[in-house]
């Protein structure tokens, strides 16, 4: 590391999608950064300059930091904390098999940060957490680990990450104001000073960490609930024989209406998880959140609904054992992030229905352990994935799929008859399918030319 004092060094706990982005913006703002992760393999990759990230700004900032000696990665979170006056925790709170929050990895990161802390240091939690976590868990763990009194001797704040992977650096630096809340005025002041150096849109200070924790989850749950509404309206539109996109475009000309897009499902480690954090916090207070829970059930049902569309298309084609290609493994377009992707649930539904020959295409994902365990091939070449396929399912809105036409899909398949299930409404020429094509979609009636 360079010659900066502890106050000019930031330890970032968790070198995942968010942690790498946070490290990058801190480096770009002139801080020295120590990246902390429990994965020795990931740490070794970073230290030798292998920075796998979809955004060039993140890769460039970390590589420059390595060259200039202002960045290094380590598995030793305590030592990183001793070196740095600021510690930013981005380690996720995971969901266990019972869909309850598992704080173990998150708490371990907080404890390591606390053990290396000195008087006057600042700890900031950026991880999305159930409301009450900063006060109820982080504060006592830090005080026990450090021997320092939070707010009086050790500063503590919550500042939720608000990034969209694929444009995270611009989100932090330019697009959104940074939300912060300290456990007291001194902590809040320190957090404002830190993030004022990176957030050009400024800093919004909330009254308490619990308010900031709830704010972050509310952003995601708003989308989950509205996507569930879009999915219900899309199913109805298809049954009525109309195009949901036509309805949506007209409805959204009204300023109080903001209909979302329907789809195969909701993935990523944000929107599907945040409702669980809210219901967890609510249950501890004796409250129920029936709308939040219902929206989650609706969105979880969409991979099965999509698999039923595959059945309907295969039936129209008259193919008893169709070969299927799924386009898209990442949970959304333009990224390689497959966490909680609905494609996994769609694949599971198809396999349970007896579809024995399925391949998956994704232009961003290099390899995938879950597919390998199932014996499902992940294909990088689009035309190679389409060749010989009877049914093609568009599961992710990758930009590479935006210009697909039914004519191209049929030609690339090499089949006399082919079915297309459009799970992201990307096909524009669907109303006039070429001869031998059956088209079905989430939000549109079936169109066939047989």
Q: What is the mean pLDDT of residues 288-312?
A: 98
User: Are 291 and 404 within one domain?
Assistant: yes
The average pLDDT across 235-245 equals 98
Residue 166 lies in a domain: yes
Q: Does residue 57 sit within a domain?
A: yes
C-alpha angle 242-261-177 in degrees, rounded to nearest 5: 155
Instruction: Judge if 31 and 81 occupy the same domain.
Output: yes
Q: Same domain for 166 and 259?
A: no
Task: Give me the DSSP letters along 206-237.
Answer: -S-HHHHHHHHHHHHHHHHHHHHHHHHHHHHH
**200 and 223 in one domain?**
no
Cα angle 252, 256, 257 (rounded to 5 degrees) comes to 35
Q: Which domain CATH number covers 48?
A: 3.40.50.720
Distance separating alpha carbons of residues 289 and 275, to the nearest angstrom? 9
Asked if pLDDT for residue 165 goes beyond 80, the answer is: no
**Given this model, what pLDDT does residue 1 score?**
67
Count: domains in the chain: 2
The per-residue pLDDT for 5 is 82
Q: Which domain holds residue 342?
A: 212-450
- Domain contains 188: yes
Q: Clarify whether residues 185 and 256 are in a common domain.
A: no
- Res 281: pLDDT: 97
Residue 163 is predicted with a pLDDT of: 86
Task: State both tokens at 144.
Answer: 């026990």
Q: Is residue 144 part of a domain?
A: yes
Alpha-carbon gap, residue 327 to 400, rounded angstroms: 10
* 62 and 187 both lie in a single domain: yes
pLDDT value of residue 3: 60
For 384, counting Cβ atoms within 10 Å of its Cβ (0-12 exposed, 13-18 middle, 19+ buried), the class is: middle
Residue 245 above 90 pLDDT? yes
| Residue 297 and residue 367 in one domain | yes
C-alpha–C-alpha distance, residues 115 and 10, integer Å: 15
Residue finishing a domain among 174, 207, 240? 207
The residue-averaged pLDDT of 16-37 equals 96
Worst-scoring range by mean pLDDT, 88-102, 158-172, 288-302, 385-399?
158-172
Indicate the residue among 192, 207, 222 that finishes a domain: 207
Q: Give, in degrees to the nearest 5, the angle at Cα 191 between 279 and 183.
A: 55
Whether residue 112 lies inside any domain: the answer is yes
| pTM metric for this prediction | 0.92
One domain for residues 23 and 44: yes
97 and 116 both lie in a single domain:
yes
Q: Do 193 and 227 share a domain, yes or no?
A: no
Confidence of residue 91 (pLDDT cuts 50, 70, 90): very high
**pLDDT tens sequence across 68-85:** 999 999 999 999 999 999
Choosing from 207, 235, 264, the residue where a domain stops is 207
pLDDT of residue 53: 85
The predicted pLDDT at position 69 comes to 95
Residue 433 predicted with pLDDT over 90: yes
Does pLDDT of 6 surpass 90? no
- Active site positions, annotated: 216, 270
Instruction: Work out the average pLDDT over 364-369.
Output: 94
Give the integer Cα–Cα distance in Å for 185 and 193.
12
CA nearest 421: which of 277, 305, 267?
305
Residue 1 in any domain: the answer is no
Q: 358 and 310 in contact (C-beta within 8 Å)?
A: no
Quote the pLDDT of residue 249. 98
For the chain, percent of residues with pLDDT exceeding 70:
99
The residue with greater pLDDT, 269 or 349, is 349
Digit-coded pLDDT (tens) for 317-336:
999 899 999 999 999 999 99
Q: Is the pLDDT of residue 4 over 80?
A: no
Q: Which two tokens mark 316?
A: 């129209």
| Whether pLDDT at 2 is above 90 | no
How confident is the model over 201-224, as pLDDT tens digits?
A: 999 999 999 999 999 999 999 999
Taking 70 as the threshold, does the pLDDT of residue 389 lie above it?
yes
- The predicted pLDDT at position 54 comes to 80
Same domain, 429 and 306: yes
The reply to whether 219 and 138 lie within a common domain is no
């Amino acid at each position: 590391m360079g010659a900066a004092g502890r106050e000019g060094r930031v330890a970032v706990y968790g070198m995942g999608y968010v942690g790498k982005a946070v490290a990058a913006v801190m480096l770009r703002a002139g801080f020295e950064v120590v990246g902390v992760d429990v994965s020795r393999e990931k740490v070794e990759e970073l230290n030798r300059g292998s920075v796998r990230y979809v955004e060039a700004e993140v890769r460039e900032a970390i590589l420059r930091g390595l060259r200039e000696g202002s960045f290094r990665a380590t598995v030793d979170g305590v030592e990183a904390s001793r070196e740095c006056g600021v510690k930013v925790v981005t380690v996720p709170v995971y969901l266990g098999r019972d869909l309850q929050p598992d704080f173990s990895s998150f708490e371990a990161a907080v404890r390591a940060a606390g053990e290396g802390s000195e008087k006057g240091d600042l700890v900031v939690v950026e991880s999305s957490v159930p409301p009450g976590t900063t006060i109820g868990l982080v504060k006592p763990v830090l005080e026990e680990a450090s021997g320092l009194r939070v707010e009086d001797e050790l500063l503590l704040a919550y500042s939720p990450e608000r990034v969209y992977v694929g444009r995270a650096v611009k989100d932090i630096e330019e697009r959104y104001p940074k939300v912060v809340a300290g456990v007291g005025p001194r902590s809040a002041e320190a957090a404002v000073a830190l993030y004022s150096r990176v957030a050009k849109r400024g800093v919004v200070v909330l009254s308490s960490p619990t308010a900031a924790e709830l704010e972050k989850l509310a952003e995601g749950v708003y989308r989950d609930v509205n996507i569930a509404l879009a999915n219900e309206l899309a199913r109805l539109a298809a049954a009525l024989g109309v195009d949901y996109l036509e309805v949506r475009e007209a409805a959204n000309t009204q300023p109080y209406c903001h209909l979302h897009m329907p789809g195969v499902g909701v993935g990523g480690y944000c929107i599907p998880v945040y409702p669980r954090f809210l219901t967890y916090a609510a249950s501890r207070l004796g409250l129920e959140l029936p709308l939040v829970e219902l929206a989650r059930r609706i969105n979880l049902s969409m991979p099965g609904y999509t698999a039923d569309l595959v059945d309907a298309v295969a039936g129209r084609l008259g193919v008893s054992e169709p070969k299927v290609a799924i386009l898209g493994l990442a949970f959304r377009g333009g990224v390689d992030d497959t966490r909680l992707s609905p494609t996994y649930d769609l694949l599971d539904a198809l396999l349970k229905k007896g579809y024995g020959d399925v391949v998956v295409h994704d232009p961003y994902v290099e390899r995938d352990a879950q597919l390998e365990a199932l014996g499902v091939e992940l294909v990088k070449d689009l035309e190679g994935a389409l060749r010989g396929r009877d049914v093609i399912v568009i599961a992710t809105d990758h930009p590479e799929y935006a210009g697909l036409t039914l004519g191209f899909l049929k030609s690339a398949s090499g089949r006399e008859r082919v079915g297309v299930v459009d799970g992201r409404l990307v096909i524009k020429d669907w109303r006039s399918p070429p001869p031998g094509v059956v088209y079905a979609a989430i939000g549109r009636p079936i169109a066939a030319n047989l």
